[in-house]
Structure 1
Amino acid sequence: MKQKVIGACLLCAAGAISSTAMAQSSVTMYGLIDTGIAYVSNQKGNSNLEMVQGVKNGSRFGFTGQEDLGGGTQAIFTLEGGFNSITGAQGATGYMFNRQAFVGVANETYGTLTAGRQYTPYFYTVGALSGLGGGSPLTGWAGAHPGDIDGMDTGLRINNSVMYTSPDIRGFQARAMYALGGVAGDISADHVYGASLMYSNGPFEGAVGFNQINNSGKNLLASPTLGNFASSAVNSGYMSAQDARVIGLSARYAFGKLMVGVSGSNVSYTPGAESLFTDKAIFNTAAVFTAYKLGNLLLGAGYAYTRATEANGIKDAANYNQITLGQLYSVSKRTRLYFLQAYQRAGGQTLYAPAVSTGTPAVPVIQDAVATIGDGQNSTPSSGRNQFTIVAGIQHTF
Structure 2
Amino acid sequence: MKYNTLTLLLATAAISGVGYAQAQTSVTIYGTADAAIVYSSNQRGNSNTYMNSGNLNASKLGFMGSEDLGGGSKAIFTLEQGFSINTGAQSDATKAFNRQAFVGLSDARYGTFTLGRQYTPYWRYVGGLGPTGVLTGATGAHPGDLDGLDTTIRINNSLVYASPVISGFQASALYGFGENAGNISAGNSSSAALRYDYNALSLALGYVKLTNNNLKGFAPWDPNVTSGSYAQSPVNAGYASARSVQMIAAAARYNPSDKWMLGLNFSNVQMTPGTASLFTHQATFNTAGLISTYKLTPAITLAAGYSYTRESAANGISDPARYQQLSLEQTYDFSKRTALYFLQAYQRARGQTLGANGVTPVNAVAVVGDSQNGSPSSNGKQFVGAIGIRHQF
Fold shared by both chains (TM-score > 0.5)? yes
Letter in 1 for 2:198: N
Deviation at 1:12, TM superposition (A): 8.7
1:283 aligns with 2:279: no
Aligned to 1:40: 40
Q: How does 1:289-308 map to 2 (within 5 A)?
A: 289-293=291-295, 294-308=297-311
Partner of residue 384 from structure 1, selected from 333, 355, 379: 379
C-alpha distance in 1 between matches for 2:17 and 2:130: 47
C-alpha distance in 2 between matches for 1:363 and 1:131: 29
Aligned to 2:114: 114
Deviation at 1:290, TM superposition (A): 0.3
Kept in 1: contact 2:218–2:232 (CA 8 A): no
C-alpha distance in 2 between matches for 1:327 and 1:77: 34
1:158-191, Cα deviation, whole Å (9 max, x unpaired): 0000000000111111000001101111111101
Kept in 2: contact 1:176–1:196 (CA 8 A): yes
Task: Name the Cα RMSD after superposition.
Answer: 1.9
Kept in 2: contact 1:131–1:290 (CA 8 A): no
Aligned to 2:326: 323
Aligned to 1:393: 388
C-alpha distance in 1 between matches for 2:209 and 2:13: 55
State the SS of the aligned residue for 2:330: strand
Aligned to 2:370: 375
Partner of residue 262 from structure 1, selected from 242, 261, 264: 264
Q: How does 1:118-197 map to 2 (within 5 A)?
A: 118-133=118-133, 136=134, 138-197=135-194
Letter in 2 for 1:342: A
Aligned to 1:101: 101
Letter in 1 for 2:145: D
Length, aligned pairs only: 382
Q: How does 1:19-30 map to 2 (within 5 A)?
A: 19-30=19-30
1:113-133, Cα deviation, whole Å (9 max, x unpaired): 000000000110100101312
Kept in 1: contact 2:176–2:228 (CA 8 A): no
Letter in 2 for 1:278: T
Aligned to 1:358: none
1:281-316, Cα deviation, whole Å (9 max, x unpaired): 000000001001121111011100000000000000
Task: Spell out structure 1 runs of 4+ moving beyond 3 A.
Answer: 8-21, 225-228
Aligned to 2:343: 340
1:354-385, Cα deviation, whole Å (9 max, x unpaired): xxxxxxxx454211111110101111110011
Unaligned residue ranges in structure 2 (runs of 5+): 1-7
1:243 aligns with 2:241: no
C-alpha distance in 2 between matches for 1:303 and 1:217: 36
C-alpha distance in 2 between matches for 1:171 and 1:74: 23
C-alpha distance in 2 between matches for 1:253 and 1:203: 6
Deviation at 1:88, TM superposition (A): 0.6
1:64 aligns with 2:64: yes
Aligned to 1:4: none
C-alpha distance in 2 between matches for 1:156 and 1:13: 46
State the SS of the aligned residue for 1:98: coil
Deviation at 1:200, TM superposition (A): 2.1
Question: Residues 116, 370 of structure 1: CA spacing in aligned structure 2 closer, same or farther, 3 A cutoff?
Answer: same
C-alpha distance in 1 between matches for 2:367 and 2:111: 40
C-alpha distance in 2 between matches for 1:395 and 1:228: 26
Question: Residues 71, 374 of structure 1: CA spacing in aligned structure 2 closer, same or farther, 3 A cutoff?
Answer: same
Aligned to 1:359: none
Deviation at 1:112, TM superposition (A): 0.3
Aligned to 2:5: none
C-alpha distance in 1 between matches for 2:358 and 2:246: 22
- Bigger shift: residues 192-201 or 302-311: 192-201
Letter in 2 for 1:22: Q
C-alpha distance in 2 between matches for 1:116 and 1:14: 32
Aligned to 2:218: 220
Deviation at 1:220, TM superposition (A): 2.6
State the SS of the aligned residue for 2:55: coil
Identity of aligned residues (%): 52
Deviation at 1:199, TM superposition (A): 1.1
C-alpha distance in 2 between matches for 1:280 and 1:234: 15
C-alpha distance in 1 between matches for 2:136 and 2:374: 17
State the SS of the aligned residue for 1:128: helix
Letter in 1 for 2:289: A
State the SS of the aligned residue for 2:22: helix
- Bigger shift: residues 212-221 or 154-163: 212-221
